[in-house]
Amino acid sequence: MTHGFYNNPIISTWSSDFDKDKTHIYFKKLFHKYGSVLRVKFPGQPTLVMLSQPEHVKTILQSSMDNPVRLPMESLKKARYQDAYYDKKAGVVGENGPEWSRVASILRPKVLRPDNVHQYLPQVDQVALDFLHRRLRETPADPGVCLISLNQRLGCLDPSLPTGSGPEHVIAAARDFMTAIKECETGSKLWKLYPTKMFKQLQKSMDMLKETCNGVLEEIESKMQTKLEENPGARLTMVEQLLSQRDLSRKDVITFMIDLIPGGTDTVSNNRSTMADMAAVILYLLAKNPDAQRSLQKELDRVLGDGAAPLTPHHLNQFSYLKAVVKEANRMDENEFEHHEQFLPERWLRHRPYGTIHPCASLPFSFGTRMCIGRRIAEQEIYTLVARMLHRYNVEWKHGELERPLKYVFSPAGPLKFTFIDRQIK
Ligand code: HEM
């Protein structure tokens, strides 16, 4: 039986069996019942169309390439529109249409360029090594992203950070900013009528981040000038390249730097970094699948040796099994995968031992012109962290099943009770 789109009922998420933690299971049932195209109504949002066929996803993404539209973060947009500083420009997460295109067309090529992202690898590696000492402590803001957006390590992982220190203020502002966006986007919408406490928190924290970014950028600009005077051909960092774009104002850069902070954060469910969630789920799946863990460690030993040298792009390029592990941990649509009930990273290896995979069968970062702009930054962080951890430790899970509801990515629902055992590096 074919299911014409307009013949399909509108599914409402007011429905009693809708569980926001198990959306993929809920929608799977609906796809089974109504076919591969669903119309869904979330309260207070425009009607959404959900697709289950990768070929349909590809068609839609390709046909919307020229004008990709996404629901903007409305509270962020309103806060920016009310602040004269932003000249009624809300940045890539707040805008669609020509204003999104104006900034995105300049930002995306720079931010997604692998060699620009690789410039931060030594610091990201150092963050990962420090993280090993702290063992997956939850951090409110993602330390690696702050490293790039604020061009400095904030010391989120440093337990001895003194109260009232400069970095602590910035961390607090980033935390307040993310909490406020989460509350305003998912909680009561009274802020649309008057400035609620959370909306004021959003404005205040954004002001603080604006001031910080402004100060940081002033410093970068003056250092860049000296650098270019000494060597006109010097290689510019990603942020320096953005500052040098004639069609991008300093305000555009600051807006973008602030957008990077919630960019890597799941504002829908918690204030933890999406990457911390993703890394935890990867560790859990490796702990539950010792064969895959051993295959990964074999690759890490071959590529990293004793692990004493800093991580380089050359190392990252050789991590084919690690990349397959990350893809396997994030895949969803069961119908598309042979032996879908098993954790088989091998299926993603170049020779595709378990059959071909449609390029749109699994898209955690989306695809096309509006694909996640932080994708390469996120991937570099995940690869670095998982590589460093699994190279140094065997990871075990001695408890029952860890629930992993689908939020922005699959996310652990319970405490992370991993056992790490030092390994003999071969
Ligand atoms: C595992 C981590 C991450 C996942 C799964 C993820 C996923 C996504 C997805 C699905 C989108 C929407 C794409 C679309 O509308 O088609 C998106 C957009 C975005 N992401 Fe990420 N993301 C992650 C990490 C990051 C990080 C680390 C940053 C910042 C450094 C970031 C910054 C952004 C921004 C700014 C946008 C909006 C881009 C635009 O609308 O032009 N993301 N992300």
pLDDT tens digits, one per residue of 94-134: 999 999 999 999 999 999 999 999 999 999 999 889 878 76
Length of the chain: 426
The confidence band for 342, taking pLDDT boundaries of 50, 70 and 90, is: very high
Task: Give the closest residue (by CA) to ligand 1 atom 19.
Answer: 372
Count the Cβ atoms, other than its own, within 10 Å of residue 162.
10
Checking if the pLDDT of 14 tops 80, the result is no
Instruction: Confirm or reject: Cβ of 366 under 6 Å from ligand 1.
Output: yes
Checking if the pLDDT of 299 tops 50, the result is yes
Query: In this structure, are residues 386 and 322 in contact, taking their beta carbons and an 8 Å threshold?
Result: yes
Q: Report how far ligand 1's centroid is from the alpha carbon of 230 (Å).
A: 37
Nearest to 347 by CA among 372, 375, 368, 326: 326
Q: Say what the pLDDT of residue 337 is.
A: 92
Q: Say what the pLDDT of residue 303 is.
A: 98
Query: In this structure, are residues 333 and 358 in contact, taking their beta carbons and an 8 Å threshold?
Result: no
- Give me the chain's average pLDDT, please: 85
Max avg pLDDT among 137-146, 227-236, 333-342: 227-236
Checking if the pLDDT of 159 tops 50, the result is no
Q: Say what the pLDDT of residue 141 is.
A: 45
> For the chain, what are the domain ranges?
5-52, 74-123+133-263, 274-422
Checking if the pLDDT of 177 tops 80, the result is yes
Task: Give the closest residue (by CA) to ligand 1 atom 10.
Answer: 365
Q: Report how far ligand 1's centroid is from the alpha carbon of 274 (Å).
A: 10
| pLDDT (average), residues 329-350 | 91
Q: Say what the pLDDT of residue 6 is.
A: 45
Q: Report how far ligand 1's centroid is from the alpha carbon of 6 (Å).
A: 31
The number of the ligand 1 atom at minimal distance from the alpha carbon of 278 is 1
In the CATH scheme, what is the code of domain 74-123+133-263? 1.10.630.10
| pLDDT (average), residues 24-48 | 83
Q: Report how far ligand 1's centroid is from the alpha carbon of 302 (Å).
A: 32
Instruction: Confirm or reject: Cβ of 144 under 6 Å from ligand 1.
Output: no
Instruction: Confirm or reject: Cβ of 377 under 6 Å from ligand 1.
Output: yes
Tokens of 323: 């990349």
Is the CATH code 1.10.630.10 the one for domain 274-422? yes
Instruction: Confirm or reject: Cβ of 326 under 6 Å from ligand 1.
Output: no
Instruction: Confirm or reject: Cβ of 96 under 6 Å from ligand 1.
Output: no
| pLDDT (average), residues 361-370 | 91
Task: Give the closest residue (by CA) to ligand 1 atom 11.
Answer: 372
274-422 has the same fold as 74-123+133-263? yes
Task: Give the dihedral of Cα atoms 139, 142, 144, 145; nearest 10 deg.
Answer: -160
The confidence band for 424, taking pLDDT boundaries of 50, 70 and 90, is: confident
The confidence band for 49, taking pLDDT boundaries of 50, 70 and 90, is: confident
Instruction: Confirm or reject: Cβ of 18 under 6 Å from ligand 1.
Output: no
The confidence band for 84, taking pLDDT boundaries of 50, 70 and 90, is: very high
The confidence band for 162, taking pLDDT boundaries of 50, 70 and 90, is: very low
Distance CA(387)–CA(401), nearest Å, equals 24
Nearest to 47 by CA among 21, 4, 12, 3: 12
Q: Say what the pLDDT of residue 294 is.
A: 98
User: Could you tell me which residues are annotated as the binding site for heme?
Assistant: 372
More confident residue, 13 or 215: 215
Probe target for ligand 1 pocket from 332, 372, 384, with the most ligand atoms within 8 Å of CB: 372
Q: Which of 40-44, 190-194, 245-249, 332-336 has the lowest mean pLDDT?
A: 40-44
More confident residue, 119 or 140: 119
Instruction: Confirm or reject: Cβ of 104 under 6 Å from ligand 1.
Output: yes
Checking if the pLDDT of 307 tops 90, the result is yes
Q: Report how far ligand 1's centroid is from the alpha carbon of 365 (Å).
A: 6
Q: Say what the pLDDT of residue 333 is.
A: 75
The number of the ligand 1 atom at minimal distance from the alpha carbon of 111 is 30
Distance CA(202)–CA(139), nearest Å, equals 19
Task: Assign 3-class secondary structure to the chain.
Answer: CCCCHHHCCEEECCCCCCCHHHHHHHHHHHHHHHCCEEEEECCCCCCEEEECCHHHHHHHHHHCCCCCCCCCCHHHHHHHHHCHHHCCCCCCCCCCHHHHHHHHHHHHHHHCCHHHHHCCHHHHHHHHHHHHHHCCCCCCCCHHHHHHHCCCCCCCCCCCCCCCCHHHHHHHHHHHHHHHHHHHHHCCCHHHCCCCHHHHHHHHHHHHHHHHHHHHHHHHHHHHHHHHHHCCCCCCCHHHHHHCCCCCCHHHHHHHHHHHHHHCECCCCCCCEHHHHHHHHHHHHHHHCHHHHHHHHHHHHHHHCCCCCCCCHHHHHCCHHHHHHHHHHHCCCHHHCCCCCCCCHHHHCCCCCCCCCCCCCCCCCCCHHHCCCCHHHHHHHHHHHHHHHHHHEEEEECCCCCCCCECCCECCCCCCCEEEEECCCC
| pLDDT (average), residues 228-245 | 93
The number of the ligand 1 atom at minimal distance from the alpha carbon of 108 is 41
Q: Write down the ipTM of this complex.
A: 0.98
Q: At what angle do helices 97-111 and 250-263 cross, to 10 degrees?
A: 80
Instruction: Confirm or reject: Cβ of 238 under 6 Å from ligand 1.
Output: no
Pairing between β-strand 48-51 and β-strand 10-12 as defined by DSSP bridges: unpaired
More confident residue, 17 or 407: 407
Task: Specify the long-range contacts of residues 312-316, CB closer than 8 Å, at least 24 apart.
Answer: 312/121, 313/114, 313/115, 313/118, 313/121, 315/387, 316/118, 316/121, 316/380, 316/383, 316/384
Q: Which of 83-87, 131-135, 250-254 has the lowest mean pLDDT?
A: 131-135
Q: Report how far ligand 1's centroid is from the alpha carbon of 409 (Å).
A: 11
